[in-house]
Structure 1
């Protein structure tokens, strides 16, 4: 299992964009690495369509995407045509690589096997994992869904935006935070440091305890 804050393990595998050496491919960018149970399945087809629609905008923000599947590369390439057709993606090139993991070596290495959801070939399925990896190659976020439940890619985009802003500024984002909304100042900054760091202003929210830990500031640009 990969633990938050640890360097995400390097690996080398075939993909729809050729042989991929993961750390070299990340190359100082942020990375969203996903996994899905199988090619030519309904839920995965919707998920890959949603991911493909997000990918260009995220790439402009310095965020790459890649996907792992237990099927061979030729299967991925054929499936991509279905993904594009079903999701109305047009004839453009698919915006990120799909990595082959036929032996399930990566699925086992990253604790992504779901023994309760065998594929139609009666082999253990890969769960719907999401790993967000920073430019320093350290794991910043992980999610794990069962094969039966499709992921919410609006949520993946939301947490990616949170990670981007909190990596650059001394803020944290509250429940259901969206881009453009106020952020909380991290508790360890003194009042003087907070006012210096956030010239747009810091608002201290009054609470019964009298503790001044709820401090909001406009989202830093």
Structure 2
């Protein structure tokens, strides 16, 4: 089934490594990321969870809550966490910084999280590497879908969070390969006069053969 950008992300209840949880209650008022992994005790997933745990401060400073998800049970998650902690540098080795949820097959199927090309020993499709970024309004802002064999690039996840949070509050878009603090683009819906009022640092228009003035750069308004 899956979920489309802009849709309200569905609520669900599940068992997690931090007890029974209602997803909406957990993320209330915050940006959030729900990300799935194919299976516990698998090598690529271990490096991903290790990176997210070791660098949890990157999510905290952006006001983002994390929840991991697979169809493995909580007891398996809790055992696996010890392996994750053993291969990464965590500031609080005694406590994993975010919950891992034990999702049902119906939930991961409804969210479009299954990878038909990767199956478990019983022939059932594994959970793909999904990244769902959800805004404070509980709507889906961005989704990334990786196959089970390809680990995620967390630098890109930080980058898109920065872009999403900036463009949610400012009338700008971010160009290819943009990084926080770099020049942004004035959205086409603004006239030049409106842009002058909104961006006191000004903007510059890039000349193009069409002579249309739609490529306009302005300093990052959050800086």
Normalised to the residue count of structure 2, the TM-score between the two structures is: 0.95
- The aligned residue for residue 191 of structure 2 is 190
Deviation for aligned residue 1:80: 0.9
* In structure 2, distance between residues paired with 1:58 and 1:151: 15
Secondary structure of the 1:141 match is strand
Q: Deviations over 1:43-77 (max 9, x none)?
A: 00011112123322322321111110111111111
| Unaligned runs of at least 5 residues, structure 1 | none
> Over aligned residue pairs, what C-alpha RMSD do you find?
1.2
Deviation for aligned residue 1:89: 2.1
> Do the aligned partners of 1:161 and 1:179 also contact (CA within 8 Å) in 2?
yes
- The aligned residue for residue 93 of structure 1 is 95
| Unaligned runs of at least 5 residues, structure 2 | none
Figure out how many residues of one structure are paired with residues of the other and give that number: 220
1:210 and 2:211 aligned = yes
Spell out the pairing of 1:20-59 with structure 2 (5 A cutoff): 20-59=21-60
> Displaced runs of 4+ in structure 1, greater than 4 A?
none
Secondary structure of the 2:55 match is helix
> Do the aligned partners of 2:118 and 2:126 also contact (CA within 8 Å) in 1?
yes
Normalised to the residue count of structure 1, the TM-score between the two structures is: 0.96
> Do the aligned partners of 2:54 and 2:89 also contact (CA within 8 Å) in 1?
no
Spell out the pairing of 1:1-221 with structure 2 (5 A cutoff): 1-89=2-90, 91-101=93-103, 103-221=104-222
